[in-house]
Amino acid sequence: MRFHSHRHKIWMLPTILLVIAVVILVTMLLWNALLPVLFKIPVITYWQAAGLLLLSRLLLGGLHGFHHNHSQRSHVREHWERLNPEEREEAFKNWDKLHALWHGRKMQEEPESQDI
């Protein structure tokens, strides 16, 4: 059972809209501060900056980044569930090594157990 509240979902849409509005504003301000001076290009309005961002997103990135990829997440979950306990332990060890490397630490090597 999930115990988290759905109150955070109420703020998702306004937050996303605010972030988009700020990105459009920053794009407009940067364009208007740099390009007219450097290349004698006319200044743009807020809505022209929004159109420019949308056009660049369509031409360069498509729309695939605007939604969550649930199928990929479920694929990873299914793969994890198919692992046996030994394979899971090995995956944890590999993750710990990668995490230590990422943070610039050496992983402490476990002493090899000798079978007699």
35-57 residue pLDDT tens = 999 999 999 999 999 999 999 99
Q: Say what the pLDDT of residue 50 is.
A: 96
Query: Between these two residues, 62 and 58, which has the higher pLDDT value?
Result: 58
Smallest CA-to-CA distance from 28 within 55, 53, 11, 6 is with 53
pLDDT at 1: 45
- pLDDT: is 107 or 23 the higher one? 23
What is the residue-averaged pLDDT of the chain?
Answer: 81
Average of pLDDT values for 88-108?
77
Is 103's pLDDT higher than 70?
Answer: yes
* DSSP string computed for 24-38: HHHHHHHHHHHHHHH
**pTM for this prediction:** 0.51
- Ranges of beta strands (E only) in 4-71 are none
Alpha carbons 101 and 95: distance in angstroms, whole number: 10
Confidence of residue 63 (pLDDT cuts 50, 70, 90): low
How do the domains of the chain map onto residue ranges?
7-66, 70-102
Cβ–Cβ under 8 Å, residues 21 and 28:
no
